[in-house]
Structures are given as C-alpha cells and as structure tokens.
Amino acid sequence: MATVSKKIADEIVAGKYKSDGPFKIVKYTNAFNGEDAYGVCMRGDDPNRYKASDFIINPTTYWEAKK
C-alpha cells in the first residue's frame, strides 16, 4: 500500500487489513492538489517514508500500531 483515502486509513485504524502489516499512517498535504492524503507504512517499509519534501507537506502521524 502507499497513499490511501481517509476511508481506508480509518479502516486500517479499526483493524482491517491487520494481516498486511500496517504499522503507521502519516497524514499530509498533497503538493499536487492541496488535499489531505494518508500514507501507509507497511511491514518492511522505512518508518520515515513520508517525511517532509516538495511533494509531502506538513506530515503528521495519524496512527501508529501499538508495540
């Protein structure tokens, strides 16, 4: 997974797709359209995958799996 809708981000928070290994969701402003976007970090991904850049504006942690 990569960038998903808020609906899917909320489904992940609710526990759906748990077997896919999501461990973090970052909410950010998409530089292309100015809208909110939700980047999902999955098992094996770099936890800093969605850091601030020219394309990812104001990233904040939306959800993080409990350890």
pTM of the model: 0.92
DSSP 8-state secondary structure symbol assigned to residue 33: T
- Nearest CA to 9 out of 37, 30, 31 is that of 37
Determine the pLDDT at residue 49. Answer: 93
| Residue 19 phi, psi dihedral angles, 5° rounding | -65, -15
The tally of domains found in the chain comes to 1
Q: pLDDT tens digit string along 1-60?
A: 589 999 999 999 999 999 999 999 999 999 999 999 999 999 999 999 999 999 999 999
Q: Tell me which residue range forms the domain holding 34.
A: 3-64
* Cβ pair 53, 42 in contact under 8 A: no
**Residue pointed to by tokens 């999501």:** 22
